[in-house]
Amino acid sequence: MKIPKTPPTFEQVVKGLDAPAIQKMMGCMNNPLVIKRYLHFDKLQHRKVDGYTTEELWAAIKFQRAGTLKKISLKDKNGRPFQFSVPEMVAQQLHAIDMWAGATIGVPEPITNPQTKDKYLIRSLMEEAITSSQLEGAATTREAAKEMIRTGRPPRDTDEQMILNNFITMQRITKLKSESLTPEIVFEIHKLAADKTFPDPTAAGRFRTANEKRFVGNDEGDVFHDPPPAEELEDRLKAMCEFANGKTPDFFVHPVIRAIILHFWLAYDHPFWDGNGRTARALFYWAMLHNGYWLFEFISISAILRKAPVKYGRSFLYTETDENDLTYFIVAQTRVIQQAIAELHAYIGRKSLETRELESQIRALDLFNHRQVDLIRHALKHPYSHYTIESHRNGHNVVYQTARTDLLDLESRGVIEKRMAGRKMIFGVPKDLPATLRKLGKQLFK
């Protein structure tokens, strides 16, 4: 990743503009590059508008943005405030996020169904734990990581430990969502994320020291970010928590934008020896859940960020190089959020389609009678259900012996599992029901 060129400031743009230059600039104020796209000077250099130089276009952009930027309490190392605006594209995305992540209208049934929601919750927690760790360099495969989490086996190396830590951290975030953010909670989150992954175990859950100054850069020696000095971190963390809890600033900040800025804030301050990215993303989740965006228990933003890590890093650099304009990071992250929501819907849609196709195959195979097919359909949608001879008999208005025969036949084929409660037979749904049904279908056509 290349560090973008620092663009001319608003003051530099204004200086030297005469009346004809201003009139010419006003002529392109309605150009889509000016009002529709939130381009950094680094990108603008590759765009052309007939009759205008890059500098003239940039002057129009800076004039257009100057009246919309609002300052917040986050300041850079030189005491200059960060600022942001809400361009039209972000306003549209915020509305969509409000509709799809905070409301229940249009939410896929499997994640509102108490019988199936836990399956999707665990999948999301694992996905975020794995991809967030991979963003930080963890090299463990997804299959090995999922097997470790599902079976509860101990991590084999630091990479697996990082993933397990992230999984535990995300579980903890769901418990902390009703709490106000405090420095103690931030330290707790970091300690969970960093446990057993640092050469110095005491570095987990405390500020970095002056001797532990950490630069953000690459292997070639390029420094992308030089964080504030260690002696400022205590006051900066308190200010961050006040912002997270809505105490600052003295104007309305949309909750999603507040969560995105919180993500940026911790990453900018870089208060810990390591694990700042994981902690920043965890705080983003806390903020979204804290403000009622409950769907984020089922969404992984790191899965999207991992596909384009350079874009993720560049959005930080655009903000820092252009007068602390957080809008670049906000634009990038609202797109990530929308994509993450869309991927959740697509995933659930694929799984629902697989279930419907499996139901159709079951009927076509003619292996089961209509009562058994009805039970299988219910079991696929409600995997934690239990059935008894009595419930099956009442549900289909058949005699005891017919109901008993139906259930025992399903049990003999591995479709349901039997256990005894005293003298009463209770039938449950096996974990691998879809695989069992597919196997039965293949055996039929051998």
Q: Is the pLDDT of residue 87 over 70?
A: yes
Determine, yes or no, domain membership for 417. Answer: yes
Q: Which tens digit of pLDDT belongs to each residue from 189-236?
A: 999 999 999 999 999 999 999 998 777 777 677 788 999 999 999 999
Determine, yes or no, domain membership for 27. Answer: yes
On whether both 260 and 175 belong to a single domain, the answer is yes
The token pair at 195 is: 């446990």
On whether both 396 and 340 belong to a single domain, the answer is no
Distance CA 140, CA 6 (A): 37
On whether both 197 and 279 belong to a single domain, the answer is yes
Determine, yes or no, domain membership for 45. Answer: yes
Residue 364 burial class via C-beta count within 10 angstroms: exposed 0-12, middle 13-18, buried 19 and up: exposed
**Region of residue 70 (phi > 0: left; psi between -120 and 50: alpha; otherwise: beta):** beta
Least confident window among 16-25, 77-86, 111-120: 111-120
- Mean pLDDT of all residues in 334-344: 91
CA–CA distances in Å: residue 187 to residues 135, 169, 182, 265, 327: 21, 12, 9, 15, 28
Those residues with Cβ within 8 angstroms of residue 183's Cβ, 6 or more apart along the chain or in another chain: 234, 237, 238, 241
The H or E element that residue 285 is part of is: helix 276-290
Q: Is the pLDDT of residue 107 over 60?
A: no
On whether both 80 and 55 belong to a single domain, the answer is no
The token pair at 44 is: 């603008």
Determine, yes or no, domain membership for 296. Answer: yes
Determine, yes or no, domain membership for 354. Answer: no
What residues make up the domain containing 406?
A: 366-444
On whether both 50 and 197 belong to a single domain, the answer is no
Contact 194, 276 (CB under 8 A): no
Q: Is the pLDDT of residue 104 over 70?
A: no
Q: Is the pLDDT of residue 401 over 90?
A: yes
Q: What is the CATH number of the domain that holds 247?
A: 1.10.3290.10
Dihedral pair phi/psi, residue 176, rounded to 5°:
-95, 0
The H or E element that residue 216 is part of is: strand 216-217
Q: Is the pLDDT of residue 443 over 70?
A: no
Identify any residues that bridge with 418 across adjacent strands, giving them in sequence order.
427
Determine, yes or no, domain membership for 356. Answer: no
Look at residues 38, 66, 94 and tell me which one is the last residue of a structural domain. Answer: 66
To which residue do tokens 């930027």 refer? 69
The number of domains in the chain is 3
On whether both 92 and 57 belong to a single domain, the answer is no
Q: Which tens digit of pLDDT belongs to each residue from 230-243?
A: 999 999 999 999 99
More confident residue, 363 or 250: 250
Look at residues 292, 315, 348 and tell me which one is the last residue of a structural domain. Answer: 348
Dihedral pair phi/psi, residue 171, rounded to 5°:
-60, -40
Distance CA 109, CA 45 (A): 47
Q: What pLDDT score was predicted for residue 266?
A: 98
Identify any residues that bridge with 83 across adjacent strands, giving them in sequence order.
71, 325
3-state secondary structure (DSSP) of residue 223: strand
Amino acid, single-letter form, for residue 83: Q
On whether both 379 and 335 belong to a single domain, the answer is no
On whether both 26 and 99 belong to a single domain, the answer is no
Determine, yes or no, domain membership for 286. Answer: yes
Count Cβ neighbours within 10 Å for each residue of 176-207 and write b for 16 or more, e otherwise. bbeeebeeebbbebbbbbbbebeeeeebbbeb
DSSP code, position 115:
T
On whether both 303 and 256 belong to a single domain, the answer is yes
Residues in the chain: 446
On whether both 36 and 74 belong to a single domain, the answer is no
Handedness of CA 215, 216, 217, 218 (dihedral sign): positive
CA–CA distances in Å: residue 292 to residues 255, 256, 310: 9, 10, 30
CA atoms within 13 A on the CB side of 285: 32
Count Cβ neighbours within 10 Å for each residue of 250-264 and write b for 16 or more, e otherwise. eeebbbbbbbbbbbb
Q: What pLDDT score was predicted for residue 379?
A: 86
Dihedral pair phi/psi, residue 38, rounded to 5°:
-100, 75
On whether both 127 and 57 belong to a single domain, the answer is no
To which residue do tokens 């969404």 refer? 299
Q: What is the CATH number of the domain that holds 439?
A: 1.10.10.10
On whether both 43 and 19 belong to a single domain, the answer is yes
Look at residues 290, 320, 348 and tell me which one is the last residue of a structural domain. Answer: 348
Distance CA 31, CA 36 (A): 8
Determine, yes or no, domain membership for 358. Answer: no
